């Protein structure tokens, strides 16, 4: 792959989308590089590290490297937006030799992921190697699955975005989707707590029992075994807490996240993109959402290995669900298939909710006091989600690739056309029809 600068402006001198991309890129760079500097400061100064009990130096360095990487991604997006505003858009050219190499290299992803897990677990607690090798292993273990799933789903599309559009979608997935979801979830949490406060206020005896439970949880902070015993007794005393937990993570959170994750597709709506490009944009948005969660995970020890292994499956779920919604969004916009969009959205929510519920049952089975057959049911649900998401990635990746030629021949120049036809795609900008 080679990038060549095109000095000819291919659109209007000013694009509000490019201006927004530039602003988002600069803000994201400032935010995440500031976070990286803060994590490095806490890592190097023991006096400050005492303010974060239980946080190891290697974990802080991993967070610093993650922040530096995400900030660099935002900066790259800002650079491409600035080049567009200056009338120097970069064109993406794919050479057949590179495409052949990429098809072979992509299968090295599982090997790189397994190596990262092995290195991260091997250097645990072995100073000073864990200060250097663990951050590299952590970033690799978070990044490789996202790259691999997206490559697997897009390798048959024959659809190549301009660098500006590609990195613009990446920055939207990193900077807008997650934070919009967090704000919506916080709003839902505040509303739920308000209703709970009204209910508890009308039942003083229940309020006293919950207050005692809160004191026990606060006293057991920092002791996982004690906290697990408190949670087990709490769920046994208040079974409805299990229902609330599963309802929140299995229904409410998926409904919100599957709406906000494919914001990159929403931005491109009405700009003559094909369903295949909607699928790719959705995969990028979901992948970046998952990448942000994985990079800033603070698990340590053997729990880190289990967490990152689970994150690989979570990445597939996010990528497939958002890709499905992105594909359905563009299809609904073009062909008015709104029932298909509703079905795709509900399927994405169902996959997300089943995954969350299964993970909760498997990870909190002891605290919840769930019988063995329910844990096996949770494991079966997780396996089913992985299987269905693989089907979505493979089937839509192939069908989108077959249909993109027909769509491209009828659409405007803004569609990213196959390179072998001699057309150069435009970026995430306001281009004339």
| DSSP code string of 229-243 | HHHHHHHHH-THHHH
Residue-level pLDDT at 425: 39
The answer as to whether 171 is a domain residue is yes
Residue-level pLDDT at 54: 66
Are residues 78 and 25 in contact, defined by beta-carbon separation less than 8 angstroms?
yes
Q: What is the DSSP letter of 126?
A: -
The answer as to whether 387 is a domain residue is yes
- How far apart are the C-alpha atoms of 358 and 370, rounded to whole Å? 12
Crossing angle of helices 302-335 and 275-295, in 10° steps, is 160
Tell me the three state secondary structure of residue 5: strand
The answer as to whether 234 is a domain residue is no
The answer as to whether 195 is a domain residue is yes
Tell me the whole-structure pTM to 2 decimals. 0.82
Q: What is the CA radius of gyration of the chain?
A: 23
The answer as to whether 209 is a domain residue is no
- How far apart are the C-alpha atoms of 426 and 385, rounded to whole Å? 35
Are residues 309 and 117 in contact, defined by beta-carbon separation less than 8 angstroms?
yes
Residue-level pLDDT at 160: 66
Q: Per-residue confidence of the chain (433 residues) as pLDDT tens digits? A: 333 333 344 444 447 888 999 999 999 999 999 999 999 998 888 777 677 766 788 889 999 999 999 999 999 999 999 988 888 765 444 444 444 555 666 678 889 999 999 999 988 777 777 888 999 999 999 999 999 999 888 877 776 677 888 899 999 999 888 899 999 999 988 988 888 778 777 777 777 777 777 777 666 665 666 666 777 777 777 777 788 888 899 999 999 999 999 888 888 876 778 888 899 999 999 999 999 999 998 877 778 989 999 999 999 999 999 999 999 999 888 888 889 899 999 999 999 999 999 998 888 776 666 778 888 888 899 999 999 999 999 998 876 544 433 333 333 333 333 333 333 334 443 333 3
Residue-level pLDDT at 324: 95
- How far apart are the C-alpha atoms of 324 and 346, rounded to whole Å? 11
The answer as to whether 212 is a domain residue is no
What is the DSSP annotation of 42-87? HHH-HHHHTTSTT--HHHHHHHHHHHHHHHHHHHHHHHHHHHHHTT
The answer as to whether 181 is a domain residue is yes
Which DSSP helix (H) or strand (E) runs through 93?
strand 90-93
The answer as to whether 354 is a domain residue is yes
- How far apart are the C-alpha atoms of 419 and 155, rounded to whole Å? 14
* Tens digit of each residue's pLDDT (9 = 90 or more) over 46-75: 777 677 766 788 889 999 999 999 999 999
Residue 123: CB atoms within 10 Å: 19
Q: How many domains does the chain have?
A: 1
Residue-level pLDDT at 97: 46
* Tens digit of each residue's pLDDT (9 = 90 or more) over 342-386: 999 999 999 999 999 999 888 877 666 677 888 888 889 999 999
C-alpha separations of 73 from 30, 55, 164 in Å: 12, 26, 12
Domain extent at residue 390? 10-202+239-415
């Amino acid at each position: 792959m080679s990038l060549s600068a095109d000095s000819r402006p291919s659109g209007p001198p000013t694009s509000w989308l490019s201006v927004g991309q530039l602003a988002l890129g600069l803000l994201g760079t400032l935010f995440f590089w500031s976070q990286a500097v803060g994590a490095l400061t806490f890592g190097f100064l023991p006096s400050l590290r005492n303010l974060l009990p239980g946080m190891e130096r290697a974990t802080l360095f991993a967070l610093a490297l993650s922040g530096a990487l995400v900030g660099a991604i935002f900066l790259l997006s800002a650079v491409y937006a600035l080049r567009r505003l200056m009338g120097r858009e970069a064109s993406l050219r794919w050479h057949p030799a590179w495409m052949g190499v990429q098809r072979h290299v992509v299968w090295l992803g599982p090997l790189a992921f397994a190596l990262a897990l092995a290195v991260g677990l091997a250097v645990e607690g072995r100073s000073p190697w864990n200060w250097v090798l663990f951050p590299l292993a952590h970033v690799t273990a978070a990044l490789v699955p996202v790259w691999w799933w997206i490559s697997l789903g897009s390798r048959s599309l024959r659809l190549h975005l301009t660098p500006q559009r590609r990195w613009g979608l990446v920055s939207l997935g990193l900077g807008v989707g997650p934070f919009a979801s967090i704000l919506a979830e916080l709003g839902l949490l505040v509303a739920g707590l308000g209703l709970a406060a009204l209910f508890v206020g009308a039942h003083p005896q229940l309020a006293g029992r919950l207050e005692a439970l809160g004191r026990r949880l606060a006293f057991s902070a920092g002791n996982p075994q004690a906290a697990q015993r408190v949670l087990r007794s709490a769920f046994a005393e208040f079974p409805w807490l299990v229902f609330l937990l599963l309802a929140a993570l299995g229904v409410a959170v998926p409904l919100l996240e599957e709406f906000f994750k494919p914001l990159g597709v929403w931005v491109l709506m009405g700009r003559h993109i094909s369903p295949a490009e909607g699928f790719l944009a959705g995969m990028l948005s979901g992948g970046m959402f998952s990448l942000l969660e994985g990079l800033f995970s603070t698990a340590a020890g053997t729990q880190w290995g289990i967490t990152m292994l689970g994150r690989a499956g979570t990445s597939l779920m996010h990528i497939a669900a958002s890709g499905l919604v992105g594909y359905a969004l563009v299809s609904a916009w073009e062909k008015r298939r709104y029932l298909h969009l509703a079905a795709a959205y509900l399927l994405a929510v169902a996959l997300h909710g089943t995954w969350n519920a299964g993970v909760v049952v498997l990870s909190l089975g002891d605290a919840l006091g769930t019988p063995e057959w329910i844990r096996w049911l949770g494991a079966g649900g997780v396996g089913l989600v992985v299987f269905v998401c693989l089907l979505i990635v493979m089937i839509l990746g192939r069908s989108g690739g077959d249909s993109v030629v027909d769509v491209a021949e009828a659409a405007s120049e803004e569609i990213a056309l196959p390179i072998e036809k001699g057309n150069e795609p435009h970026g995430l900008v306001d281009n004339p029809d």
